[in-house]
Amino acid sequence: MANIKSARKRARQNVSRNQLKSAQRSELRTAIKKVRKAVAGGDKAAATAAFQASQSVIDGFAGKKIIHRNTASRYKSRLAAAVRQMA
């Protein structure tokens, strides 16, 4: 454990930031999984709706610089391709 006051504060901040970022990562992964699950299920309407919702989540995180904009673009591109490939 840190002995200096500023280091103790930094340790407290890191704990809360880690919880926040873990929740955000989880939200992003869940949004992506919903699209993949809808694509695997074969329901194009559900996949399109899930894709629209996930696009909003992905763009929001890219805007807040939680993920890099190129990473966000790659996620959206791959999900869009998966939805497009559906019969």
65: left (phi over 0), alpha (psi -120 to 50) or beta: left
Tell me the CATH number at 67.
Answer: 1.20.58.110
| pLDDT above 70: residue 76 | yes
For 20-75, the pLDDT digits (tens) are 999 999 999 999 999 999 999 999 999 999 999 999 999 999 999 999 999 999 99
| pLDDT above 90: residue 87 | no
Determine the structural domain holding residue 18 and report its residue range: 5-84
**How much is the pTM?**
0.83
Q: Where are the alpha helices (DSSP H) in the chain?
A: 5-41, 44-63, 69-84
pLDDT tier for residue 2 given thresholds of 50, 70 and 90: confident
- The number of folded domains in the chain is 1
CA 75 from chain centre, in angstroms, equals 9
- Residue 77: the pLDDT is 98
| pLDDT above 90: residue 85 | yes
